[in-house]
Structure 1
């Protein structure tokens, strides 16, 4: 197999060369030889697939997960929220001057973001987690706190009890202003649902939908498909549905072949249900008080928003293919997909993808010209004050001392 495909697979998994060599029973010398030759033994690639592929329940067609979350609190006491609600008080958050969503304060720990107003309890504090942030937070929920998403949601409400002396609407103190539920359809060698057919049904009048806005996109770049995407609703809607071919989207992003992505991740389509405002808040409130299953409730929302039909014996009936996925309650499984992100991992990945090649070229230039500008640049480089808490945290963890000057 081509080394380039093997290398892109490694990068997509966030693995170092050393970790990869250990997984495939090899060493860095062999890795360098594969790179120079431009190919990798097939058995080594298969071993990488075997040791890293995402496990799944073959009896389930869909896997549900939380892929985005925003929670707003009517208090500026963001540190209490980090400590008491999120359970991340011992983590080195970075403070930055950054304005977004109308907030003036910003704290972040890897992919977990927190915005706050300096002196306005009404605007308060906002927790934001993207997909990677949700995966990272799940790692700490499971491995350090022995909690679930349900426990976290409950804690958000319980936190308001300590503010009884404040003049606010208790029901409005905590608001889940957005939640995205991702329903991932597992890749099947015998075939998956074709999103192009859904667009054809829309054109044929065989779809009934609540959303007024509809958009179908079939992207292509460099004569290769980037996949189909369908939107029902807009970002401002209470409910927006977004369906897309995740395998094509990720292959374009990670520069992988489809077959490699299917072997590594086992996914085909993603069906996202984005809930905003009252719809989001009610979804989580019902989950806590009615003990609903997040995956099943997401499918209920989808089925309420969208109905798909076919013509059979001159009659309009529910589409069998569509409802074989979304009409059966035992096809979905809600999962937490925890992922640990070591401090510095984002920077390592950025450096490897964007900087390492440039630095290598500059080193060669310096070998030719005899100049040493890189050494001068490195000597003058400084670590910004805002990053020092992270480095101090690591130094204490590993029992070493740091000299910044």
Structure 2
């Protein structure tokens, strides 16, 4: 299990205090922008770690870590010799308010068959507190040799509620995003528990109290959903749990552990944009230079001026994690 999304609001307008005393990172490494999101007026960011600021105390300071942000923050936690548990304890000591928490369970062996679970939802073989489910199938118009190139996603519960589940084919997502062959994907499927507000707070409290990710995650899952096999000779409430689901919730498998996957901040997204959007035009311009015996591209790059923001990015990229943490 991994933390895959963390959003926390702090009842203060002192961004330096939150960054340096709670995140324990040096604010001088963050880039400042005078605009924000979610009605915040400005924000600071270090790679994929975002800190939003408002002069209004009721909004306070908002920390947002999406998937990449969580992985990046884990590299700083490692440098600080600090765990997620210790970080969340510091958050609660600062009266931080949990706004959202996603717990991602990685299925590396393909225990979950998402099309089969979707079919069970349609056949009323999903017994749940939730009243709704949605399924999506995305793919490509041109098939490739290795697979039909379709990805399945199943949402259980309303996306507007404080708790819902998202089950999707992680191998297909990695194929689409990074062109990683499906057969080579480390994770086959992912089961995400998405929690908001009070539900997120109670999950963190349970993790801190018991230090048992297995208990926390599957208490939530078992509270809201179970998949069964239809047996028309019995009442629906007595239908037996399906064997596939039993494997997932713990029968015959090893215990679930909270793990980390620290990844340092990289320039990857910018380089990806450069290679796909800029490189073809640049190559064309270089060829024209060669044909015309000019050096226009060289002159453009030579006279380009780096802004303060670019200099800060250079500083971020050059710094080791130990230099950024406090």
265, 278, 296: which one pairs with 1:341?
Answer: 265
Secondary structure at the aligned position of 2:26 is classed as coil
Q: Which residue of 2 aligns with 1:279?
A: 199
Secondary structure at the aligned position of 1:273 is classed as strand
Matched, 1:372 2:291: no
Superposition deviation, residue 183 in structure 1: 0.5
Superposition deviation, residue 243 in structure 1: 0.4
Q: Which residue of 1 aligns with 2:84?
A: 149
What does 1:106-255 correspond to in 2, within 5 Å?
A: 106-117=43-54, 119-142=55-78, 144-158=79-93, 160=94, 173-187=95-109, 192-222=111-141, 223=143, 224-255=148-179
Asked whether the equivalents of residues 30 and 45 of structure 2 are also in contact (C-alpha less than 8 Å), the reply is yes
After TM superposition, the runs of 4+ consecutive aligned structure 1 residues lying more than 3 A away are 311-315, 327-331, 389-397
Secondary structure at the aligned position of 1:336 is classed as coil
Cα deviation 1:50-74 (Å, max 9, x = unaligned): xxxxxxxxxxxxxx00000001001
Aligned length: 310
Asked whether the equivalents of residues 183 and 295 of structure 1 are also in contact (C-alpha less than 8 Å), the reply is no
Secondary structure at the aligned position of 2:80 is classed as coil
Give the root-mean-square deviation of aligned CA atoms.
2.2
Asked whether the equivalents of residues 251 and 257 of structure 1 are also in contact (C-alpha less than 8 Å), the reply is yes
What does 1:8-47 correspond to in 2, within 5 Å?
A: none
Structure 1: stretches of 5+ with no match in the other structure: 1-63, 161-172, 398-405
Superposition deviation, residue 376 in structure 1: 3.4
Q: Which residue of 2 aligns with 1:168?
A: none
Cα deviation 1:155-187 (Å, max 9, x = unaligned): 1122x3xxxxxxxxxxxx420110001001013
| TM-score normalised by the chain length of structure 2 | 0.87
Asked whether the equivalents of residues 226 and 252 of structure 1 are also in contact (C-alpha less than 8 Å), the reply is no
Superposition deviation, residue 295 in structure 1: 4.2
Matched, 1:75 2:12: yes
303, 322, 326: which one pairs with 2:222?
Answer: 303
Matched, 1:258 2:182: yes
| TM-score normalised by the chain length of structure 1 | 0.71
Superposition deviation, residue 201 in structure 1: 1.1
Asked whether the equivalents of residues 46 and 316 of structure 2 are also in contact (C-alpha less than 8 Å), the reply is no
Change (3 A) 1:186 1:86: same
Cα deviation 1:230-282 (Å, max 9, x = unaligned): 01123321001000111112112222322233xxx2x1110001001111112
298, 302, 307: which one pairs with 1:384?
Answer: 307
Cα deviation 1:282-332 (Å, max 9, x = unaligned): 2112322x2242343122211211111013694421111111111448442
87, 96, 99: which one pairs with 2:33?
Answer: 96
Change (3 A) 1:95 1:197: same
Cα deviation 1:90-131 (Å, max 9, x = unaligned): 6610001222111001000011000010x2222100000011
Change (3 A) 1:298 1:366: same
Of stretches 125-134 and 243-252 in structure 1, the one that deviates more from structure 2 is 243-252
Aligned partners of 1:345 and 1:309: how far apart in 2? 44
Structure 2: stretches of 5+ with no match in the other structure: 321-326
Change (3 A) 1:120 1:234: same
Aligned partners of 1:286 and 1:298: how far apart in 2? 10
